[in-house]
């Protein structure tokens, strides 16, 4: 059953001043007490990185009136670890929401995304966790059509919980004409990289990572299909990366050692 006034941790990877996190914290204020812990600079593409080789800064900040907020010099996953350890001090929040990301985190992007990795870290901490992302990379992204879904999905997770070891990856199409929610699986896809080579003023080359999304999956049960057809995709995600189905095959191998 939903607690009367749950505590909700809000994180992201676009940084504490991104419009997406403002929308998310405002939506969550209607559901409970909001605490924001977010990176002090954009951390897109940081995946599940943590900061081990250098120390972290972690400061209480006063950006939006009436909201308890902390900024962190580290990664999105660092933010969740600091929230659990320094803010909540062992009294876990009832929900961890990450985003709303400026840009999709469907399919293989779940691995590269700091937004999703923060939600994964929430789940590792046994906090019911959800990552939200919108198909619009720009700072001008219009999150308004996604808000009612954000609130409803968060409310359902607060009410029902999630199975141990799982979290939700929720992606929104950019269209204002959303058809509904599709429970989906991660589409099989990859990025075909192209490195844009340039020359610096000292005649040394440098490279920008760019790429083209390559879908290798014709299924109509994927997050890619849902989004292309105007639905919100909701994928249950797990952090047990064991390929359990491959264990019998490996048992059949003979190691000559």
- Is 240 annotated as ligand-binding? no
**Residue with Cβ nearer a second copy (29 or 73):** 73
Short-list 117, 116, 112, 106, CA closest to 219 = 106
Q: How far is the CB of 50 from a second copy (least distance, A)?
A: 5
Does 133 appear as a known binding residue? no
* CA 162, chain centre distance (Å): 16
Identity of the residue, 64 or 68, whose beta carbon is nearer to a second copy in the bound complex: 68
User: Which span sits near a second copy by CB under 8 A: 3-11, 23-31, 128-136, 229-237?
Assistant: 229-237
- 3 state SS of 134: strand
245 binds a second copy, rule: CB under 8 A: yes
Q: With residue 124 as reference, give the H or E element that holds it.
A: helix 114-124
| 233 annotated as ligand-binding | no
Cα separations in angstroms, 231 against 6, 177, 221, 240: 28, 9, 12, 27
240 lies in the site for a second copy, by CB under 8 A: yes
Torsion of CA 105, 212, 222, 50, to 10 degrees: -30
Binding mask 23-62 for a second copy (x = CB under 8 A): -------------------x-xxxxxxxxxx-xxxx----
CA distance 211 to 72: 29
230 contacts a second copy (rule: CB under 8 A): no
The nearer residue to a second copy, 56 or 174, going by C-beta atoms, is: 56
**Footprint of a second copy on residues 90-109 (CB under 8 A)?**
108
Establish whether 184 is an annotated binding residue: no
Q: In whole angstroms, how close is the CB of 238 to a second copy at the nearest point?
A: 4
When the beta carbons of 91 and 251 are compared against a second copy, the nearer one is: 251
Taking the complex as a whole, the smallest distance from the CB of residue 4 to a second copy amounts, in Å, to 19
Instruction: State which of positions 127-146 bind a second copy (CB under 8 A).
Output: none
What part of residues 172-201 is at the interface with a second copy (CB under 8 A)? 180-181, 183, 185-186, 188, 190, 193-195, 198
Binding span for a second copy by CB under 8 A among 2-10, 60-68, 128-136, 150-158: 150-158
Q: What is the DSSP letter of 244?
A: G
As a dihedral over the C-alpha atoms of residue 46, residue 51, residue 57, residue 63, rounded to 10 degrees, the angle is: 20
CB of 249 to a second copy, least distance (A): 7
Query: Omega before 188 cis (within 30°)?
Result: no
Tell me if 38 sits within 8 A of 10, measured CB to CB.
Answer: yes
| 234: contact with a second copy by CB under 8 A | yes
SS3 186: coil
Residues 6 or more apart from 150 whose CB is under 8 A from it?
Answer: 23, 24, 27, 97, 100, 132, 170
Sequence ranges of the binding site for a divalent metal cation:
13-14, 44, 101
């Amino acid at each position: 059953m939903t607690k009367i006034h749950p505590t909700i941790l809000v994180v992201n990877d676009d940084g504490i001043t991104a419009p997406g996190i403002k929308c998310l914290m405002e939506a969550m204020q209607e559901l409970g007490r909001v605490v924001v812990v977010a990176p002090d600079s954009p951390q897109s593409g940081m995946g599940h990185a943590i900061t081990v080789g250098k120390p972290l800064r972690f400061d209480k900040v006063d950006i939006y009136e009436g909201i308890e907020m902390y900024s962190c010099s580290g990664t999105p996953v660092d933010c969740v670890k600091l929230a659990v350890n320094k803010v909540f001090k062992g009294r876990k929040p009832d929900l961890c929401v990450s985003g709303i990301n400026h840009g999709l985190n469907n399919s293989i992007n779940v691995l590269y995304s700091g937004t999703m990795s923060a939600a994964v870290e929430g789940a590792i901490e046994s906090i019911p966790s959800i990552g939200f992302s919108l198909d619009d990379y720009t700072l001008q992204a219009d999150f308004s059509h996604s808000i009612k879904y954000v609130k409803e999905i968060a409310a359902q997770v607060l009410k029902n919980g999630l199975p141990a070891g799982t979290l939700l990856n929720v992606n929104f199409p950019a269209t204002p004409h959303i058809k509904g929610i599709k429970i989906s699986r991660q589409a099989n896809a990859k990025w075909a990289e192209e490195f844009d080579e340039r020359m610096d003023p000292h005649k040394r080359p440098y490279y920008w990572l760019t790429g083209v999304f390559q879908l290798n999956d014709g299924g109509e049960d994927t997050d890619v299909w849902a989004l292309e057809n105007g639905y919100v995709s909701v994928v249950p995600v797990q952090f047990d990366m064991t390929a359990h189905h491959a264990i019998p095959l490996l048992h059949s191998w003979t190691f000559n050692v």
